[in-house]
């Protein structure tokens, strides 16, 4: 029996999909104003394991992942600047170029980490009409009000606002303070924001659309309600993200989606991954969440520069349960790299096959572990113990590696190869992406040729830039 911890009901529950053997899965994707850091990637590895476990259990997974390329402000409570426009100013590029560049970089990172791509990628900027339609429905239902900076959702108009995060209980405990300004209630949030007026003295926005009588852009949460409903239907099975999404982003997605459709529950199972934390630079050396805005930002490329292979990082992540905080340290990563190397060596000594009956007990133990709220550390311990006693075959390890994605029978970490490219080649790849985004095909072909001369082939498959050594 497959069981997960469901944040919505705060308990372990057995999993039953809405429709037979197929599962609708929505995972909140990256905000593409910078590189993903290895904390972000922890969340995507956890979601990848979830998908692999569902598939191992015989389910077909319809997996949708969004790309947030507009609307996420620097403060989750709808204040500050738009992260995309800020990224554009930082790098002297257009917001559209920034989005293209970091989307491609993210897709390359997940490929390198053996994370299976979603069935559908969807960008917020490609789904503006769907978002406007949902905001209009909420206006028509009388659930919104206008302020000088946008259209807001009135959270007091629905009786169960905040149920995912138990916001009501938390406030009683902590007396949470939220900036109100023109909002009627602390938790009200923006559905649609106005662009600055021409006479405001503020820089004009690059990404804006005409709607509701003015120029503006979507709030952060509406994209996920609009795109998940478009691709997975008004009710679906599983929705995931990191735990930081529980009190604001996912809480607001639920409020919007259930109000638009009138159907509850919108999603049956909510799964959240704990954070990767790192010691801060203060004297106290406290653990803080790795964050894109912080000075503790480590990317996959940084790991490679420290001779840590991407799949060693994956192995490091799999040694911790997804609902436990995990502390980053170089020593722990080096130990994981050695551990994975040793495990692969031991696996080489196993017999290629064994009588099926001899391995039945091991298979049952393995299935019990992965189905017990994705207990991957226990599943890895099972591989180690049966490998040491030679009670399993290489064939079984290969089958189990469909869950781990660690290339346990491979000689080397082949998928690390695309990232060993030099900064010069990376620059050409970035320029080519920008040329493509601007539909400058001749420039794009010229850059491909130049990349080719340096010994690489580059192709775009489903919007993803795939780089290989010739």
Q: Where on the chain is the footprint of Zn ion (CB under 5 A)?
A: 28, 224
CB-side neighbour CA atoms (13 Å) of 272: 21
242 binds ligand AMP (CB under 6 A): yes
Tokens of 337: 């790299």
**Min separation Cβ 422 and ligand AMP, Å:** 27
Please tell me whether residue 221 binds ligand AMP under the rule CB under 6 A: no
- Rounded to 5 degrees, φ, ψ at 56 are -60, -35
Q: Is 110 in the site for ligand AMP (CB under 6 A)?
A: no
Contacts of 297 (CB under 8 A, 6+ apart): 37, 290, 291
396 binds, among Zn ion, ligand AMP, none (CB under 5 to 8 A by kind): none
Helix, coil or strand: residue 220: coil
Q: How far is the CB of 443 from ligand AMP (least distance, A)?
A: 29
247 contacts ligand AMP (rule: CB under 6 A): no
Quote the least distance from Cβ 224 to Zn ion, whole Å: 3
Q: CA–CA separation, 123 vs 133, rounded Å?
A: 16
Other beta carbons within 10 angstroms of residue 299's beta carbon come to 17
Coil, helix or strand at residue 468: strand
Q: Is 118 in the site for ligand AMP (CB under 6 A)?
A: no
What b/e string do you get for 302-320 counting C-beta neighbours within 10 Å, with b at 16 or more? ebbeeebbbbbbbbbbbbb
Q: Rounded distance, CA 70 to CA 197, Å?
A: 19
Among 6, 15, 25, 43, binds ligand AMP (CB under 6 A): 43
Query: Nearest approach, Cβ of 186 to Zn ion (angstroms)?
Result: 21
Out of 7, 31, 66, 396, the residue judged to bind ligand AMP by CB under 6 A: 31
Q: Are 408 and 415 in contact (CB under 8 A)?
A: no
When binding is defined by CB under 6 A, the residue of 3, 81, 208, 244 that contacts ligand AMP is: 244
Between 106 and 194, whose beta carbon lies closer to ligand AMP? 106
Does residue 87 interact with ligand AMP by CB under 6 A? Answer: no
* Choice from 86, 289, 440, 446 touching ligand AMP (CB under 6 A): 289
222-232 helix and 251-261 helix, angle to the nearest 10 degrees: 50
Task: Tell whether residue 13 is a contact of ligand AMP (CB under 6 A).
Answer: no
* Per-residue contact flags (x/-) with ligand AMP for residues 45 to 84, judged by CB under 6 A: -----------------------x----------------
Residue 40 site contact among Zn ion, ligand AMP, none (CB < 5 to 8 Å, cut-off depends on kind): ligand AMP
d(CA 316, CA 56): 22
Q: What is the three-class DSSP state of 306? A: coil
Q: Which residue is nearest to ligand AMP (CB)?
A: 242
Total residues contacting ligand AMP (rule CB under 6 A)?
Answer: 19
Q: How far is the CB of 156 from ligand AMP (least distance, A)?
A: 27
439 exposure class (CB count in 10 Å sphere: 0-12, 13-18, 19+): exposed
CA atoms in the 13 A half-sphere facing the CB of 222: 28
Residue selected from 245, 344, 386, 432 as contacting ligand AMP according to rule CB under 6 A: 245
Which stretches of the chain bind ligand AMP, using CB under 6 A? 28, 30-31, 39-40, 42-43, 68, 241-242, 244-245, 273, 275-276, 289-292
């Amino acid at each position: 029996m497959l069981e997960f911890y469901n944040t919505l009901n705060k308990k372990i529950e057995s999993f039953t999909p809405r429709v037979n053997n197929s599962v609708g899965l929505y995972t909140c994707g990256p905000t593409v104003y910078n590189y993903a850091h290895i904390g972000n990637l922890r969340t995507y590895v956890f979601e990848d394991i979830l998908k692999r476990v569902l598939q191992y259990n015989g389910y077909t997974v319809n997996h949708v992942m969004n790309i947030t390329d507009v609307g996420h402000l620097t403060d989750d409570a709808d204040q500050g600047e738009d992260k995309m426009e800020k990224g554009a100013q930082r790098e002297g590029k257009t917001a559209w170029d920034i989005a293209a560049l970091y989307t491609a970089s993210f897709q390359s990172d997940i490929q390198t980490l053996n994370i299976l791509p979603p069935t559908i990628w969807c960008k917020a900027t490609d789904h503006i009409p769907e978002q406007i339609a949902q905001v209009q429905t909420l206006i028509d239902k009388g659930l919104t009000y206008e302020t000088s900076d946008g259209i807001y959702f009135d959270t007091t108009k629905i009786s169960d606002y905040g149920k995912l995060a138990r916001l009501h209980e938390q406030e009683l405990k902590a007396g949470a303070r939220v900036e109100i300004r023109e909002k009627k209630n602390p938790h009200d949030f923006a559905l649609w924001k106005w662009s600055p007026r021409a006479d405001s003295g503020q820089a004009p926005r690059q990404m804006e659309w005409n709607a509701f009588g003015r120029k503006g852009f979507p709030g952060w949460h509406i994209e996920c309600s609009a795109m998940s409903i478009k691709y997975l239907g008004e009710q679906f099975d599983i929705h995931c993200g990191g735990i930081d999404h529980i009190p604001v982003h996912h809480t607001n997605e639920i409020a919007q989606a259930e109000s638009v459709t009138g159907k509850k529950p919108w999603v049956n199972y909510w799964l959240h991954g704990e954070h990767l934390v790192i010691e801060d630079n203060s004297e106290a050396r406290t653990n803080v969440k790795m964050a894109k805005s912080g000075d503790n930002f480590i990317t996959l490329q940084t790991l490679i520069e420290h001779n840590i292979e991407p799949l060693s990082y994956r192995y490091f992540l799999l040694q911790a349960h997804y609902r436990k905080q995990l502390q980053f340290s170089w020593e722990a990563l080096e130990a994981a790299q050695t551990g994975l190397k040793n495990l692969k060596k031991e696996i080489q000594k196993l017999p290629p096959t064994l009588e099926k009956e001899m391995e039945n007990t091991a298979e049952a133990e393995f299935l019990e572990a992965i189905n017990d709220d994705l207990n991957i550390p226990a599943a890895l311990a099972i591989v180690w113990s049966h490998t040491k006693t030679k009670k399993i075959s290489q064939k079984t390890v290969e089958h189990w590696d469909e869950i781990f994605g660690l290339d346990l029978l491979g000689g080397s970490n082949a998928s690390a190869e695309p990232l060993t490219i030099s900064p010069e080649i990376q620059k050409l790849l970035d320029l080519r992406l920008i040329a493509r985004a601007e539909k400058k095909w001749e420039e794009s072909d010229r850059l491909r040729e130049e990349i080719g001369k340096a010994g690489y082939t580059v192709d775009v498959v489903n919007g993803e830039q795939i780089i290989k050594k010739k």
